[in-house]
Structure 1
Amino acid sequence: MGNTTPILDRPEPPQGSPGGAEEHPKAFYVLLIVALAWPTVVLSMSGLLLGNAQVLIAQHFHTTQIAWFTLITTLVATMSVPFLIKAADMFGKKRVMVVASVIGVIGETLCALAPTWGLMLSARFLVGIYAVVTALTYSIIRDVFPAKWVGTASGIVATSTGLTALAGPWLSGWLQDNHGFRGVLWFLAVNSVFALILLVLFVPESPLRAPRTSFDWLGGLLLGGSATALVYGIGEGSKWGWTDGKTLFYLIGGVAAFLAFLVVEHRVAHPLLDVRLLRERRLLLILLSSGMAAGVLFSTGTINQLLALYPTIPGISEGLGYSATENAALGVHSSILLLLCGAAVGLIANRHSAKLTLVAGLALSIVGVLLMHSNHYEKWQFIAFGPFFSIGMGLVLASGPILIIGAVKPEDQATANGVGSLLTGVLGAISTQVIFTILNDSGNVLQGTQFYTDDGYRAAFLAGAGMLAVALVLALLIPKVRTPVEAVEADAAATARPGR
């Protein structure tokens, strides 16, 4: 698997030969890049579009549980991707991508049609399966492209997600302001169908196969149950009471399930998560700090969307009532800065440890959140203070994978990336629920819809800053980490030694 693919199990060496054994005309590879980039862009765009649309969705369905609109997809994606990647190695990457895309299309279509909140959540459950397509894209590039094209193709697909930063805010504003949240959902459904057609017509099957081995179903059940129990317990704790038996049952049960998961992973032949890697202090701190930081940054960024888009209703809701287009105009420069700073990390990391950019990014993010805590009432404040958070976020998101390169052996790279992806998903789900629980505590319910007050927004910003501060402390504790150049040179020297 390529370094960007978050596989947590370790299959035996695959059978077949990578690197695109059969040469094709250049036009074939151009179409192939488009076919692989399209679903990647759609999945990237959906996060921004739906982040804005969830405000209208909450009001339409009169729900106090809008957090689950995002949480259910995140949890399903986090828990299903490792199994689906292993299935792809054994049965074929294109085959799994097509199956996941069909399920994703069904889910997106049901979302657009959903007449009830229950059906909407069921559809979002299906959409979570679609996430594996992005994870497999980079791996299939390595398998079916000629070696000379692999780097270029991977770079083009990765860069294509930058369209989200450039066009996403404006597209979101136009769709939502002119066609409502249904327009957003139908846009995603139609593009998912188009992505599936491109995948079927232009993407060849990978020639590589791994030997068929057993799946760690028990590990997946325990980890998924642990994350779900913790998220649900946190979400209901303020309603039931934090010392209530039901709250304690879910919280203690979630922790117990996670401890049982660690025990199981030590004993099974093909674990979901290779806990052997977590014994190394450097890597453990990298995974915890970068995973927690990424998860918290995504959930904290949600506060700004809610604050800007929820209406102003005296005594009920203290949102700012901006249109989606207005919100896009306020944040587009921050989105571009996020993209540029993420790209800059790669250049900086060639000379300096990415620990420097991780720490700097976390510090800037905390400053940005604290500034927004006290300054979120005027448009100029979003324009002036938003870049602190966005620059920090760009630095943090790019630093984690680079730190992993310097901390592990090449054969452990994909596994370590997978652990980091898993931690980001789980910690992101938990931190999102923490944010919404705090918002709900001081909010108001009107006609079945949850609205939020300024006290809630301020408390949520403080909670986000606090969680980021924990990640910063963990980052500062990371021992010296090699740069990618140093790591590659050291690995090459070790491989060249006699006996290797």
Structure 2
Amino acid sequence: MHSTHSKSQPTASPAGPTVPNPAADAAAGGRGPRRAGLAIAVLASAGIASSITQTMVTPLIPRFPAIFNAPAATTAWIITATLLAAAVAVPISGRLGDLFGKRRMILILALPLVVGALVCAAAPNVETMIVGRALQGLGSGMVPLGIAMLRDLVPRERLSSAIATVSATLGVGGAIGMPISAAVVQFADWRALFIGSAVITLIVMLAIWKLIPALPAGAAGQRFDWIGAIGITIGLVALMLAVSQGSSWGWSAPLTLSLFGVAAIALGLWGVWETRTTDPLVDLRTAVIPRVLLTNIASIFVGFGMYASMLVMPQLLQLPSQTGYGLGQSILAAGLWMAPAGLMMLLLSPVGGRLSDTRGPKFTLVLGVLVLALGYGVGLLCMGSTWGLLATSLVINSGVALAYGAMPAIIMSAVPRSETAAANGFNTLMRSIGTTVGAAVIGLVLSQMTTTLGGEPVPSEAGFKLALLLGAGISVAAAIIAACIPASRVPAPVHRVPAAAPHPERAA
């Protein structure tokens, strides 16, 4: 059944079209502000739990070869498996959330986070660890689902701030996870990290089950696009494998080129299928709306710009001072120096939300990526001191907070309510592609531009400066793309759903 447009033309707002929202009114239950604040807090907690899970292994990466007595090329799959699982899970879980209920899908996605954590905690070898981290990667869809759910739970006047707050949990989770995991690695058994992660996720699951209402699914009654799911899985796995492993396999190696070819063919055929099927996994007819398309393209650049700093800052902090540019900090100290920047995202997110309400989310996005570029400029001037890097990370994460809060608001202002979760999931996927490409490019720069320390190659000062310049340039490109996003004038179409289709989501 193809969607039809509503004949009514309500006024659009920065966070989305002003249309009646019976689900949100019912969810408020007469306690609007209090109930909305509780929903924001619970969904933000879910985002923090998910992001902690993704970042907490960072201090363990150099130790995995010794822990499992395996080559570094093999232990690298612990990270790659997480990226691959997340890339596949995010768009698929978004569509499932639209079909069967966002709350239900968040609870379902929390299960592999818990099981994966327990598998990692008990892992006797690297193969088991890879499986556990792949399971945890499936939980990455919790954040975009939580953001999409806000449209159903929060009054319109608070929506922009709510979106910005939940989006900021990506940085907050990293800020909390890095020093905590570093402290555990330094003073206790690393397996305690995963046990703690499982406990935190279980608490969040209980809070969602008890405190978040079960609302009707926006696209209930439509079919799930299995062919589209298989097509995007093949294409994304091939693409992410080629990008993440190309530097170690060789960019001109037959396997790398073959994977790029498979990705191009699979995603091309997937795109054709999605435009012809009745109930697509990702409605590409909506995705090519200029407001959505340009936001997704900008998201790739923002993801690159954000992740470049995450690769550069910890290495500069931890490299020995004998290099002349390294700051000789321990893993724990490096995590503590970076923690305030993540917390800055949480503090600044309400400001970004209010800015989106008054000036529009497009303005906030452009401002955010310009601040991100400014942060890299500060880094080029101040990379020789811990306080300078702290200032750099504070400015960079301020820009990320503004940009990450604005992008979902732009997306949700342009898509029907029945596609909110799928569209948010696809936007998150674009950011993930950006971070993966950023990791590959910055990793290549730092591995090629090296100097020698104690007979071992380490990234050179020139390599770090080039990485910072790339981050600044990509951020400026993101600002130019964001500036071309059309203003929101026409409200998103409201899909007509048969009266018998919507069924309240059963309590999980």
Which TM-score bucket, shorter chain as reference? 0.7 to 0.9
2:307 is matched with which residue? Answer: 299
Provide, for residues 403-441 of structure 1, a one-character-per-residue CA deviation record: whole Å limited to 9, x for no partner: 335555667655543432232223323332333343344
Q: Alpha-carbon deviation of 1:319?
A: 6.1
8 Å contact from structure 1 (residues 52, 309) kept in 2: no
1:109 is matched with which residue? Answer: 118
2:15 is matched with which residue? Answer: none
Q: Given the two structures, how large is their TM-score scaled by the length of structure 1?
A: 0.75
Matches of 1:152 and 1:402, distance apart in 2:
6
1:78 is matched with which residue? Answer: 87
Aligned with residue 177 of structure 1, among 174, 177, 186? 186
8 Å contact from structure 2 (residues 375, 395) kept in 1: yes
Q: Alpha-carbon deviation of 1:127?
A: 0.8
8 Å contact from structure 1 (residues 227, 430) kept in 2: no
Matches of 1:29 and 1:275, distance apart in 2:
32
- Superposed counterparts of 1:32-431, under 5 Å: 38-57=45-64, 60-61=67-68, 62-64=71-73, 68-91=77-100, 95-137=104-146, 158=166, 161=169, 164=173, 170-179=179-188, 181-199=190-208, 205-206=214-215, 211-289=220-298, 291-308=299-316, 310=318, 312=320, 320-373=327-380, 375-404=382-411, 407=414, 416-431=423-438
Is residue 2:468 matched to residue 1:453? no
What is the one-letter code of the residue matched to 1:430? V
8 Å contact from structure 2 (residues 95, 421) kept in 1: no
8 Å contact from structure 1 (residues 105, 192) kept in 2: yes
8 Å contact from structure 2 (residues 81, 134) kept in 1: yes
8 Å contact from structure 2 (residues 316, 325) kept in 1: no
Q: 1:440 to 1:370 in 2, by over 3 A?
A: same
What is the one-letter code of the residue matched to 1:420? N
Q: 1:376 to 1:66 in 2, by over 3 A?
A: farther
8 Å contact from structure 2 (residues 147, 167) kept in 1: no
What is the one-letter code of the residue matched to 1:246? L
Q: Alpha-carbon deviation of 1:211?
A: 4.0
8 Å contact from structure 1 (residues 292, 424) kept in 2: yes
Provide, for residues 242-299 of structure 1, a one-character-per-residue CA deviation record: whole Å limited to 9, x for no partner: 334333222233222222221111112211221112433343222211x113321342
8 Å contact from structure 2 (residues 97, 421) kept in 1: no
Q: Given the two structures, how large is their TM-score scaled by the length of structure 2?
A: 0.74
8 Å contact from structure 1 (residues 165, 336) kept in 2: no
Q: Which runs of 5+ in 2 are unaligned?
A: 1-20, 495-508
Q: 1:442 to 1:186 in 2, by over 3 A?
A: farther
Q: Which runs of 5+ in 1 are unaligned?
A: 1-13, 496-500
Matches of 1:207 and 1:408, distance apart in 2:
18
Q: Alpha-carbon deviation of 1:468?
A: 3.0
1:481 is matched with which residue? Answer: 487
Q: 1:153 to 1:111 in 2, by over 3 A?
A: farther
Q: Alpha-carbon deviation of 1:123?
A: 0.9
Q: Alpha-carbon deviation of 1:59?
A: 5.8
Q: 1:367 to 1:451 in 2, by over 3 A?
A: farther
What is the one-letter code of the residue matched to 1:42? A
Matches of 1:154 and 1:357, distance apart in 2:
15
Matches of 1:426 and 1:172, distance apart in 2:
26
Tell me the SS of whatever aligns to 1:19: helix
8 Å contact from structure 1 (residues 406, 481) kept in 2: no
Is residue 2:442 matched to residue 1:432? no
Matches of 1:348 and 1:32, distance apart in 2:
22
What is the one-letter code of the residue matched to 2:84? L
Q: 1:96 to 1:406 in 2, by over 3 A?
A: closer
Provide, for residues 101-126 of structure 1, a one-character-per-residue CA deviation record: whole Å limited to 9, x for no partner: 22221101112222333222211111
Aligned with residue 479 of structure 2, among 464, 472, 476? 472
8 Å contact from structure 1 (residues 36, 157) kept in 2: no
Comparing 220-229 with 264-273, greater Cα deviation is found at: 220-229
Comparing 178-187 with 400-409, greater Cα deviation is found at: 400-409
Q: Alpha-carbon deviation of 1:191?
A: 1.7
RMSD: 4.5
Q: Alpha-carbon deviation of 1:30?
A: 9.8
Matches of 1:195 and 1:294, distance apart in 2:
29
Identity across matched positions, percent = 23
Q: Alpha-carbon deviation of 1:346?
A: 2.1
Q: Alpha-carbon deviation of 1:382?
A: 1.0
Matches of 2:36 and 2:251, distance apart in 1:
57
8 Å contact from structure 2 (residues 164, 349) kept in 1: no
8 Å contact from structure 1 (residues 223, 258) kept in 2: yes
8 Å contact from structure 1 (residues 222, 257) kept in 2: yes
8 Å contact from structure 1 (residues 318, 452) kept in 2: no
Provide, for residues 296-349 of structure 1, a one-character-per-residue CA deviation record: whole Å limited to 9, x for no partner: 13421321354056554989x996542243224423443343333332222223
Question: For this pair of structures, how many residues does the alignment match?
Answer: 468
Q: Alpha-carbon deviation of 1:378?
A: 2.7
